[in-house]
Amino acid sequence: MKAVLDTNVVVSAFLSPAGVCRRVIDQAFERRFEPCVDARIIREYKGVLGRPELRILPEEAAGFLDFVASASERVAVTPLSLVLPDPDDLPFLEVARESDAILVTGNLRHFPQDRRAGVSVLSPREFLELLGRSE
């Protein structure tokens, strides 16, 4: 199974180590699914995880980024010509579509049903439930 993790899932995993988003990240480390990224997503992860106000330990962020670099499928996308409520979310949808992956996000409203381009968009909890059913 492949998945694209929205940045809010990654950040929430660091800010709430006992939360559902952390469990999603743990499942990636356990190779229960293959993360999919492109250069834009990696740049966003790096930029957001490095924000001082989030107080994420640099070594923890670096460990995650190293994992992403080594364990993720790198995807070259075909641009989509659609408008999302937050234009910065478009790379996540494009990568998910191109790689036939599930898009996991804590902001479902940022991906209206009629603008998902055939991509399955799930909350972190829904994604964990799906992983549990696929055992």
What is the set of domains in the chain, with CATH numbers?
Answer: 2-133 (3.40.50.1010)
Average pLDDT, the chain: 95
Instruction: Read off the pLDDT of each residue in 23-51 and give the average, rounded to a whole number.
Output: 97
Residue 30 tokens, joined? 């356990």
Q: For the chain, percent helix, then strand, then coil, each to nearest 5? A: 55, 10, 35
Instruction: Read off the pLDDT of each residue in 17-29 and give the average, rounded to a whole number.
Output: 96
- pLDDT classification of 9: cutoffs 50, 70, 90: very high
Instruction: Reply yes or no on whether the pLDDT at 116 is more than 90.
Output: yes
pLDDT digits (tens, 9 = 90+) for 38-73: 999 999 999 999 999 999 999 999 999 999 999 999
pTM for this predicted structure: 0.95
CA–CA gap between residue 86 and residue 99 (Å, rounded): 21
**Close Cβ partners of 133 (under 8 Å, ≥ 6 residues apart):** none
Q: What percent of the chain has pLDDT over 70?
A: 99
By C-alpha distance, which of 13, 85, 74, 83 is closest to 42?
A: 74
Instruction: Reply yes or no on whether the pLDDT at 135 is more than 70.
Output: no
**Close Cβ partners of 2 (under 8 Å, ≥ 6 residues apart):** 33, 34, 35, 36, 73, 99, 100, 101, 102
